[in-house]
Structure 1
Amino acid sequence: MPERPLVWLLSAYRSESHASWVNWLSNQQDLPVRFRIFELPGRYFRWRIRGNPLSWMAEFRDALRQECPHHILATSMVDIATIKGLHPELAGTPVTLYFHENQFAYPVGDRQHSSIDPQMVQLYGALASERCLFNSRFNLESMLQGVAELLRKLPDAVPDNVVDQLRAKSSVLPVPVDTVNIDTVTIDTTPEKIDSTPVILWNHRWEYDKRPDRFEALLDAVGSRDIDFQLALLGPRPSKVPVELSRIRTRYADCIIADGMVPRVEYEALLKRAQVVVSTADHEFQGLSMIEAVSAGAIPVVPDALCYREQYPDCCRYTPGDVDDAADRMTDALLNGQKVDISRWTTASTRELWRNLMTYFSLPAGVTEVTNGSNSWDFYTG
């Protein structure tokens, strides 16, 4: 039996979500392709997005002496245009660029300097790729809108139809999210542990783009309505404790049932207990932790923006920045909320789309009929 075609899987920034995607994909059984994985640590963002071709240069040269890939699947952090220039052997290798995020819609923090370099890396990468995949329609549309806005600002010699070219080769394919089997999750039911007070879950990074300040304001607004709740404050946090987290710890000390990163078994038990999972984010391209919590039964309370419009009904979405509206949604979710079906965004529904994409990767160059073109892996048309 001939060996399966080789796909290089390039991830230039191994953050938690990117790592989960790489691990899931590489662990799938009976795919028509095999992977060679190249990753770089998820730190030093500015250096990583500009420097990955240099960091990988020697490793790629060694790998190319052994075997050229049939296809390249790279994250949008990968400077694939420069990589192709440094390695002529890859000039004819088709590339699929996967956008977990796009730098055109990523908010800039107060301590960060504004630069178009990350945007240009992604623009050149998209133009140099055969196709571009995005984990949500919001991600795709915000990228194209951002490209159009950037091109309008450039002084001269800007080609026509760049956005049209990108749209023609772009489609949506979410990261698969494994659900929690709540039937197998056990919760401590000893008398002193039993408490029917509803749990509000926060399971995001405690960083500026997730807006913990708005979460704090939302808790204060709900608390002022004399509604009892418990808090599970999860998600990674920086070494210097955010002021919002410090104030929440002080103000709601008696309500907190979990605070910090917890073992997976405990995390799943908290998902099962949660009545509400909340987001106050300024940016979210797919919202993996939200999907995971909602699939376990938590009721989402999210901004009416970002990827959330594709995922959750109107009753779960509040006007962004409107604390009173958010508090109304939270109150309703705590007292009367109905569970939401998020199954379409989970592994059970997206696995086959990813398998179709891998089948396409395995075909000779230019062949599309067998997989019915991009329709076979597009989330909205496949």
Structure 2
Amino acid sequence: MRRRVLLLSAYQSDSHAWWVRWLQQAFPAIDWRLLTLPGRHFKWRIRGNPLSWLDQIESACEDIDQVVATSMVDLATLRGLCPPLGQIPTVYYFHENQFAYPIGPGQRHTIEPRIVQLYGALAADYLLFNSDWNRRSFLDGVDGLLGRMPDAVPAGVAARLGRHAAVLPVPIAERAWPVAEHRDPRLIVWNHRWEYDKAPEVFARALDRLGERGYDFRLALLGPRAPKIPAVLQALEERWSARIVANGCLARADYDAILHRAGIAVSTAIHEFQGLGMLEAASAGAAPLVPDALVYPEQYPPAYRYPAGDVDALAARLGQWLGDPPPAPDVSAWSEVALRPSWARPLGGDGG
């Protein structure tokens, strides 16, 4: 009889959607039952998903062997509203955690999203994180939050959670990359969202330094963006229009072709719990240049890292690499082939 798994994804953004599709494709012997919600309206979504699923959750968990829920799911409330759900072994998967998520302009930290994830972790049977940075920052964040609790504080909550927590990344897609006969060692790729948490202004200032020093380079400005062009992107487009070889969200084949052609891929992120885009770029052969912070020390040797937020250090390293970037590091440990056996274990041994 097929193993039946209910997968709850309450904020189905791009990387979450890829992960859901991959699980279904990698483990076809499982009878997957899905409840998902679009990745928008964050504040409502993280607190309101039990209401959104109120009329579906009871029937969805009938005859289920296991639940896999993302950390955007308000699992504690959902289990309270649907008591049968509380009897089913549950894995709580952290693509991110709200304790280490930077706030943007005009925003302020609120306790609600962090409490949702803390209660969800306490309600789950197993916790999985896509990186050790994610795991550590969550457990440290729990300690910090409870350290500010005025009284009646339970002891050792983070340690209790840590005892059933493990690291299991989202795999990067397997592709048969051909030998790069026409790699452009002066092509720099940016393949991140054009939002505050990726610090695109640091990237823009580093390019200005390169231009002032007379370096020759080309740009592929990729990644999602808002309908209104961000000011930093508009300035880049105006200043470097003659050097831009690709601009915008491309079809998958065209995107892959750019990664396979590029010499360097750059991150300036102030928030990165796994960094699938940079892992994909490295797997395609582009040399990753990343901050010495967040998840990146787990993934790349020191030669590929620069002091986080240091424009001059980033520009200097780019100047050294342009024309002759180092070989991309081995990121095969994050491949589907490498990670499928590790994913099979929490899904019932062989994943079926």
Match of 1:380 in 2: none
3-state DSSP class of the match of 1:358? coil
Q: Give the counterpart of 1:291 among 269, 275, 279.
A: 279
Gap runs ≥5 in structure 1: 188-194, 364-382
1:288 to partner: Cα distance: 0.3
Give the superposition deviation at 1:186: 9.8
In structure 2, the residue corresponding to 1:310 is in which secondary structure?
Answer: helix
**What's the C-alpha RMSD, in Å, of the aligned pairs?**
1.8
Deviation at 1:308, TM superposition (A): 0.3
State the secondary structure of the residue aligned to 2:43: helix
Residue 224 (str. 1) matches residue 248 (str. 2): no
Higher mean C-alpha deviation, range 112-121 or range 301-310: 112-121
Residue pairs, 1:15-164, within 5 angstroms: 15-31=13-29, 33-64=30-61, 67-164=62-159
- Taking structure 2 as the reference length, the TM-score comes to 0.96
Give me the TM-score of the superposition, normalised by structure 1.
0.88
Change in 2 beyond 3 A, CA 1:196/1:355: closer
Return closer, same or farther for 1:179/1:63 CA change in 2, 3 Å cut-off: closer
Q: Which residue of 2 aligns with 1:357?
A: 346
Kindly indicate whether the alpha-carbon contact (under 8 Å) linking 2:345 and 2:351 is maintained by their aligned counterparts in 1.
Answer: no
Of 256, 259, 264, the residue aligned with 2:247 is: 259
TM superposition shift of 1:198: 1.4
The percentage of aligned residue pairs carrying the same residue is 49
- Partner letter of residue 144 of structure 1? L
1:141-199 alpha-carbon deviations (Å, 9 max, x no partner): 01111111111111111100101101101010000111432218998xxxxxxx95611
Alpha-carbon distance change, 60 to 361 in structure 1, aligned in 2, over 3 angstroms: farther
Letter in 2 for 1:130: D
Given that residues 185 and 264 in structure 2 are in contact (C-alpha distance below 8 angstroms), is that contact kept between their aligned partners in structure 1? no
Task: Name the amino acid aligned to 2:249.
Answer: M
Q: How far apart are the structure 1 equivalents of 2:96 and 2:184?
A: 38
Task: In structure 2, list runs of 5 or more residues that go unmatched.
Answer: none
Give the paired residue count: 351
Distance 1:30 1:68 in 2: 18
SS at match of 1:282: coil
For residue 261 of structure 2, the aligned residue among 273, 276, 290 is 273
Alpha-carbon separation, structure 2, partners of 1:23 and 1:62: 22
Distance 1:328 1:40 in 2: 43
Aligned match of 1:311 = 299
Report what 1:10 is aligned to.
8
